[in-house]
Amino acid sequence: MYTQLEQRGMPEPPVNVSTLRRMKTDGEPIACLTAYDASYAALVDAAHTDLVLVGDSLGMVIQGYDTTVPVTVDDIVYHSRIVARGLRRAFLVADMPFMSYTEPGQALDNAVRLMQEGGAMMVKLEGGDDQVGIVQHLARHDIPVCAHLGLKPQSVHKIGGFKVQGREPEQAKEMLASALRLQDAGADIVLVECVPNEAGRAITEALDVPVIGIGAGPDVDGQILVLYDILDITQGRTPRFVKNFQAGCTSPLEAAEAYVRAVKDRSYPAPEHCFS
Ligand code: KIV
């Protein structure tokens, strides 16, 4: 009993929420990537990625949509299940898709599916104050939650595009207040997307739980990028915070290792990947 999670034939035990908290306390950057299938999951795991997200970005990079809005719970369950088979050490988080967490009961049912059918260890949902009740409900049922703040891609049609958030002091203050409320409600991780460095730093300093950034500057507890972006597979314009790690590497594994190394030694993100 109690041994399965520690015995996957790895010299190191698998990452869990306590590992991530300890990394924040110790100031060890948390390297995170997305993955959508078993082969790439095994590859990013071998590269020593700490956290793997089955993001609803799969709607754009796998399914070819312009946004993440069309992605369904069935899609995430399927991709999470196949990613879980490829992982040995990394912590697996799965996205709650658009409109899958509007009511507490519905959110709980869908989160349970992502964990039971998809093998996820945590679910991620987008939202600020509006999601405090949902996070509370999930946390009360021992569902680990990552709350996604800043640019919320599921709200793209409401925002009017993929835009930097928190540039106005008032907006940055509100974002920080929301992050604190989400933590109090039971969020285990806060993810912040596309905000000025200062906003990323302020949230990271204020919170006890790990803060993962994507386009949130260098002063967060960890970084995440879309795997296909670092491998330079994504077509079209890439956001400012993306770095092509495939350049100069001879394999995708080498590129993923270069990314993990750059996050750990804090050479990524560089000033050209950041917003002010
Ligand atoms: O869907 C996704 O991949 C994400 C990351 C970009 C953070 O939410």
Residue 167 is inside which H or E element, if any?
Answer: none
Q: What is the position in ligand 1's atom list of the atom closest to the CA of 193?
A: 7
Who contacts 122 (Cβ-Cβ below 8 Å, separation ≥6)?
Answer: 17, 91, 92, 93, 94, 143, 144, 145, 146, 188, 189
The model scores a pTM over 0.85 = yes
Residue-range domain boundaries for the chain? 3-273
Q: Does domain 3-273 have CATH number 3.40.50.2300?
A: no
Report the C-alpha gap between 218 and 211 in whole angstroms.
11
Q: Is 4 helix (H, G, I), strand (E, B) or coil?
A: helix
Give the pLDDT confidence of 91-123 residue by residue, as tens digits. 999 999 999 999 999 999 999 999 999 999 999
Q: State the catalytic residues.
A: 193
Asked whether 56 lines ligand 1 (CB < 6 A), one says yes
Q: Whose C-alpha lies nearest to ligand 1, atom 2?
A: 55
Asked whether 57 lines ligand 1 (CB < 6 A), one says yes
Q: Which two tokens stand for residue 181?
A: 């409320």
Beta pairing partners, 40: none
Give the pLDDT confidence of 129-181 residue by residue, as tens digits. 999 999 999 999 999 999 999 999 999 999 888 899 999 999 999 999 999 99
